């Protein structure tokens, strides 16, 4: 199992970015565990980390507007 800190080091990103990927389910089989001191930490299987392709950095694309029916909305 690979910790979020190790994932961050492998992909050259911050630990918070790696935790975000884990939280969003980007690594199959990842789980949140609890340390002996009661602190939560993420781990992921080596195979899922090995096969992971990080998303491209940059702004998140905007959602495409819904198709309109051709009628204008507004006051009459």
- How much of the chain exceeds pLDDT 70, in percent? 86
Task: Please compute Rg for the chain using Cα positions.
Answer: 19
Weakly modelled stretches of the chain, pLDDT under 50: none
pLDDT value for 31: 94
Where are the domains positioned within the chain? 2-50
Mean pLDDT in the chain? 86
Q: What is the pTM of this model?
A: 0.69
The tens digit of pLDDT for each residue in 18-35 reads: 999 999 999 999 999 999
49 and 7 in contact (C-beta within 8 Å)?
A: yes
């Amino acid at each position: 199992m690979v910790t979020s800190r190790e994932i961050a080091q492998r992909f050259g990103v911050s630990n918070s970015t790696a935790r975000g990927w884990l939280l969003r389910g980007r690594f199959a089989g990842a789980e949140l565990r609890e340390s002996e001191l009661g602190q939560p930490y993420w781990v992921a299987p080596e195979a899922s980390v090995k096969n992971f392709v990080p998303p491209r950095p940059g702004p998140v694309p905007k959602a495409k507007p819904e198709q309109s029916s051709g009628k204008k909305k507004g006051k009459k």
